[in-house]
């Protein structure tokens, strides 16, 4: 695919853990809706290697932010993780994606359900006014292997302060004991009612829209348990309750 690449400059590389990082880059005016992604690229051995990344920043913020994990065998992510202020990064001019609130029907509660780096588009959505204007309650669910991967705590604290009980945050940790988080995986916590109990809200077709992002197996397994509850995939021509974006 041909595209006119834009050149951005890294201004910050925040390391959350040895494998998790957030890059902030400037110099690229992009028009997008919160929840969308864009291809970013580096030249590696003479080839431009590009991968989609979700924007973490709100659309009106001119500094683009991307949240990533190092996949040691992957070509791009280890190099992104090593970038320093002043380094150049290519950004495609055409953001895309349907994990956006403009595609969603109205409902009482918006559930933003993520694994790993799948939280990125939801941080962007929560940095806009739209979810707070359109939904009475917003639940952010973030499931990770280890507690240290529960990132963007500053954003979560701001929403708690500004939105009070309209905002609920449920964290899940699957591979170690973590007192403040639910244990295990999202589909099991939906099935046995722990997710609803932790959020203090019900997850039912008459009053919920669910956005899912991250691990493709999580998307499949969670969709299956939601379908058992009478929910269905949302389509423009056949409105439903579940909207998904797979990261691989």
Ligand X SMILES: Cc1cc2nc3c(=O)[nH]c(=O)nc-3n(C[C@H](O)[C@H](O)[C@H](O)COP(=O)(O)OP(=O)(O)OC[C@H]3O[C@@H](n4cnc5c(N)ncnc54)[C@H](O)[C@@H]3O)c2cc1C
User: In the complex, which residues of this chain contact ligand NAP (CB under 6 A)?
Assistant: 19, 69, 71, 115-117, 143-146, 149, 174-175, 185-187, 214-215, 217-218, 221
C-alpha distances in Å from residue 50, one per residue of 43, 76, 185? 9, 8, 31
Residues 6+ apart with CB under 8 A from 72: 78
Selection from 54, 165, 149, 63 nearest residue 109 by Cα: 165
**Applying CB under 6 A, does 69 fall inside the site for ligand X?**
yes
CB of 56 to ligand X, least distance (A): 7
CB of 92 to ligand X, least distance (A): 12
Q: Which stretch in 65-73, 85-93, 130-138, 190-198 sits in contact with ligand X by CB under 6 A? A: 65-73
Q: Which stretch in 71-79, 145-153, 201-209, 235-243 sits in contact with ligand X by CB under 6 A? A: 71-79
Contacts 24+ apart (CB under 8 A), 184-191: 185/143, 185/218, 185/221, 186/113, 186/115, 186/141, 186/143, 186/218, 186/221, 186/222, 187/218, 187/221, 187/222, 187/224, 187/225, 190/222, 190/225, 190/226, 190/229, 191/225
Q: Which stretch in 6-14, 70-78, 87-95, 122-130 sits in contact with ligand X by CB under 6 A? A: 70-78
- In whole angstroms, give the CA distance from residue 199 to residue 139: 7
- Smaller CB separation from ligand X, 98 or 132: 98
**Applying CB under 6 A, does 216 fall inside the site for ligand X?**
no
Among 52, 59, 205, 240, binds ligand X (CB under 6 A): 52
| 3-class SS letters over 63-112 | CEEEEEECCCCCCCHHHHHCCCCCCEEEECCCCECCCCHHHCCCCCEEEE
Q: Which stretch in 87-95, 162-170, 185-193, 240-248 sits in contact with ligand X by CB under 6 A? A: 240-248
| C-alpha torsion 122→109→228→189, nearest 10 | 60
**Applying CB under 6 A, does 77 fall inside the site for ligand X?**
yes
C-alpha distances in Å from residue 173, one per residue of 95, 149, 183, 186, 235? 31, 9, 5, 10, 31
**Applying CB under 6 A, does 76 fall inside the site for ligand X?**
yes
**Site mask for ligand X (CB under 6 A), range 93-132, x = bound:** ----x------------------xx--x------------
CB of 118 to ligand NAP, least distance (A): 8
Which 12-51 positions form the footprint of ligand X (CB under 6 A)?
37, 51
Q: Which stretch in 8-16, 74-82, 134-142, 147-155 sits in contact with ligand X by CB under 6 A? A: 74-82
Q: Which does 155 bind (CB under 5 to 8 A by kind): ligand NAP, ligand X, none?
A: none
* Residues near ligand X, by CB under 6 A: 37, 51-54, 66-69, 71, 74-77, 97, 116-117, 120, 245, 247-248
């Amino acid at each position: 695919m041909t595209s006119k690449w834009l050149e951005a400059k890294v201004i910050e590389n925040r390391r959350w853990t040895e494998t998790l990082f957030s890059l902030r880059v400037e110099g690229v005016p992009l028009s997008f809706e919160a929840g969308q992604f864009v291809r970013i690229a580096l030249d590696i051995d003479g080839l431009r290697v590009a991968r989609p990344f979700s924007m973490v920043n709100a659309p009106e913020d001119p500094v683009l932010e991307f949240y990533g994990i190092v996949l040691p065998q992957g070509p791009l992510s280890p190099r992104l993780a090593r970038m320093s202020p002043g380094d150049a990064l290519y950004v495609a001019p055409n953001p895309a994606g349907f994990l956006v609130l403009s595609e969603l029907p109205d409902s009482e509660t918006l559930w933003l359900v993520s694994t790993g780096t799948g939280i990125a588009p939801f941080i962007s959505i929560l940095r806009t006014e739209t979810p707070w204007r359109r939904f009475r309650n917003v639940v952010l669910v973030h499931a990770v292997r280890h507690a240290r991967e529960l990132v963007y705590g500053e954003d979560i604290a701001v929403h708690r302060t500004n939105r009070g009980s309209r905002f609920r945050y449920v964290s899940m940790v699957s591979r170690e004991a973590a007192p403040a988080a639910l244990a295990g995986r999202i589909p099991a916590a939906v099935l046995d009612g722990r997710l609803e109990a932790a959020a203090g809200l019900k997850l039912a077709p008459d009053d919920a829209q669910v956005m899912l992002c991250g691990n493709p197996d999580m998307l499949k397994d969670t969709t299956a348990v939601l379908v058992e509850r009478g929910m269905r995939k949302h389509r423009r021509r056949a409105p439903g309750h579940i909207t998904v974006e797979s990261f691989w």
